[in-house]
Structure 1
Amino acid sequence: MTEATLEIDRLSKRYGELVALNEMTFDVRSGELFGFVGSNGAGKTTTMRIAMGVLATDSGEVRWQGRPVDFDTRRKIGYMPSERGLYPKMKVHDQLVYLGELHGMVAADARRAADEWTERLGLAERRKDEVQKLSLGNQQRVQLAAALIHDPEVLILDEPFSGLDPMAVDVMSSVLREKASAGAPVIFSSHQLELVERFCDRVGIIRSGEMVACGTVDELRGDAALRIRIDVPSAQPGWNDAIAGVRLIEQTGSVHVVELSPGVDDQRLLAAALATGPVREFSPHRPALTELFRNVVSQEVAQ
């Protein structure tokens, strides 16, 4: 484990009979964008709140650079909660300066940083506006500026892309990549799985308070059963029924996506496809993160 790593080590949290977290364990490495995904109530926000000291854990530990996270360490973390953590009647620039000072910045440095981030995030013309007068998307930008104002060593962001238009998403993702490139571990949760797949170096899928899958999207795909996409325009229904271990996943017109059980020879499937007539496509089907996530959720329902 490298020193510049945020470690979540066996966190557990209960509310009476409800198990919110059950030995939640993962790490976010220096320079890494880590996507944290799960259904509502799976434990993402609870994990982040414990990391920030907003909630106490029943057991387990959060470490940064090999040491338990304490008050001084948390001042070096940029945190963006899912709910608005801003003063609605306070002006944007004044609020950012104030929050910078709370993180230990001197006033001049806080003002300079507030100028830089409002400019960078497209808020320069709204600096003197009260937060409550901004659109939800611009409030989200202010929230990000508040997390970045003190040049944090770690970023923990809960649903940072919520409510953003495509241009704001591009700005947000650019900023997060920049922080990661500078060496900061960056963790964010999101229900927008296509963004997670596009931006993140690794992804953790959480279910019922436990980490059930973690790795790059390609690594997560490697754990999935082999799927083949086949375009057989002349095929009749049941053309592949003679091959055991082949299951139809979806069909759109002449295009079939089938799943092969372990040990099934894909060449037998190709031969059966060719026997129907022309084959326009025969290629491995790479499931998107949305599909991988859905499979994990369906496993939970089936249990």
Structure 2
Amino acid sequence: MLETRGLTRRFGENTAVDGVGFPVPGGAMTGFVGGNGAGKTTTMRMVMGVLGIHEGEVRWQGRAITAADRRQFGYMPEERGLYPKQPIADQLVYLAQLRGMSGPAARAAVVEHLERFGLGDRQGDPVEKLSLGNQQRVQIIAALVPTPIALVLDEPFSGLDPAAVDSMADLLREHTRRGTPVLFSSHQLDLVDRLCDRLVVMARGKVVAQGSADELRSGGPVRYRLVLGGDAGWTRDQRGVHVADVDGGTALIEVLEPGAEQHVLGEAAARGPVHEFRRVVPRLSEIYQEVTA
């Protein structure tokens, strides 16, 4: 497991990251979300040792992380670091060798990954000849080729088309099936909701929510959608619920006392036809808005 405990980083009088702590379990994808300036990139840089830590620590396998541990991590930074005029395959092989792979093993792994991302016929092209989306693919390959023991990826899906997103997701799942912890940041909340086993939400330098998507959903208010044959305005007078919205025969009911929704349903049935009564499961974007407000 990769874990942060109380990470704090200041820039002058500004505290960019304030006591951030969360686990990144092995064999799971952890999505790291938050608005611009929330502190995600600064946190990831501290995890990788790119930025110094003012308070707190990063732990790996239950102990303080070392430089040797970090050298085995796959890291994709926010600011891409490819050499624009160097051939794609040559620089990927070079980067893999810097991390301990032999030349032949690095070459074989690079070719395999380029083929998987549809770039097998572009191996000799300089990076600057590629589209921005394909440059992103190459940057991802640079992080994945040496079979890392953990992955820390800053916006890896940015600029990728849907097919490339699916290829990338499949590749990350191969790593998690081997037990690799994966932490990646993204502004694409629907994508994070679809891919991730756990989520960490940051706002104003702090972690404001974390857990699985189901855990985050269960921590919010319980709401039901009620659709009637007649006007639903009477629901406002019912005990144990808060009516968040009424529009004609439709009411959005928030349960304040367990079981109160059943009393509302019984009253509705006594008044006339009930067309719909169902639990409203919030989208991740709605949870995000609530916890970061």
**Please, what TM-score do these two structures have when normalized by structure 2?**
0.94
Q: What residue identity is the alignment partner of 1:77?
A: F
5 Å matches for 1:195-234? 195-234=191-230
8 Å CA contact 1:235–1:273 kept in 2: the answer is no
- Give 1:83's aligned residue: 79
Q: Following the alignment from structure 1 to structure 2, what is the Cα–Cα distance between the partners of residues 48 and 169?
A: 22
Give yes or no for the alignment of 1:143 onto 2:129. Answer: no
- Give 2:89's aligned residue: 93
**Is the alpha carbon distance of 1:251 and 1:171 closer, same or farther for their aligned partners in structure 2, counting shifts above 3 Å?**
farther
5 Å matches for 1:20-35? 20-35=16-31
Q: Following the alignment from structure 2 to structure 1, what is the Cα–Cα distance between the partners of residues 174 and 73?
A: 16
Residue identity (%): 50
- Cα offset, 1:263, TM superposition: 4.6
- Give 1:171's aligned residue: 167
- Cα offset, 1:216, TM superposition: 0.9
Q: What residue identity is the alignment partner of 1:274?
A: A
8 Å CA contact 1:31–1:183 kept in 2: the answer is yes
Q: Following the alignment from structure 2 to structure 1, what is the Cα–Cα distance between the partners of residues 88 and 196?
A: 30
Q: Following the alignment from structure 1 to structure 2, what is the Cα–Cα distance between the partners of residues 246 and 141?
A: 50
- Cα offset, 1:255, TM superposition: 4.2
8 Å CA contact 1:239–1:272 kept in 2: the answer is no
**Is the alpha carbon distance of 1:257 and 1:75 closer, same or farther for their aligned partners in structure 2, counting shifts above 3 Å?**
same
- Cα offset, 1:70, TM superposition: 2.5
Picking from 234, 238, 252, the partner of 1:239 is 234
- Cα offset, 1:24, TM superposition: 0.6
- Cα offset, 1:275, TM superposition: 4.5
Q: What residue identity is the alignment partner of 1:151?
A: T
Q: Following the alignment from structure 1 to structure 2, what is the Cα–Cα distance between the partners of residues 168 and 254?
A: 44
Give yes or no for the alignment of 1:265 onto 2:260. Answer: yes
Q: What residue identity is the alignment partner of 2:72?
A: K
Picking from 40, 45, 52, the partner of 1:44 is 40
* Aligned CA-pair RMSD: 1.7
- Give 1:256's aligned residue: 251
5 Å matches for 1:174-189? 174-189=170-185
- Cα offset, 1:229, TM superposition: 1.6
Give yes or no for the alignment of 1:64 onto 2:60. Answer: yes
- Cα offset, 1:252, TM superposition: 7.1
Gaps of 5+ in 1: 299-303
Give yes or no for the alignment of 1:279 onto 2:274. Answer: yes
**Is the alpha carbon distance of 1:127 and 1:67 closer, same or farther for their aligned partners in structure 2, counting shifts above 3 Å?**
same
Q: What residue identity is the alignment partner of 2:136?
A: Q
Give yes or no for the alignment of 1:291 onto 2:286. Answer: yes
Q: What residue identity is the alignment partner of 1:231?
A: V
**Is the alpha carbon distance of 1:253 and 1:83 closer, same or farther for their aligned partners in structure 2, counting shifts above 3 Å?**
farther
Q: Following the alignment from structure 1 to structure 2, what is the Cα–Cα distance between the partners of residues 121 and 250?
A: 47
- Cα offset, 1:23, TM superposition: 1.2
Give yes or no for the alignment of 1:155 onto 2:151. Answer: yes
8 Å CA contact 1:35–1:200 kept in 2: the answer is yes
Q: What residue identity is the alignment partner of 2:184?
A: F
Spell out, residue by residue over 1:34-78, the C-alpha distance to the aligned partner (whole angstroms, 9 max, x if none).
111111111111110011111111011112122322322111100
Q: SS of the counterpart of 1:240?
A: helix
Gaps of 5+ in 2: none
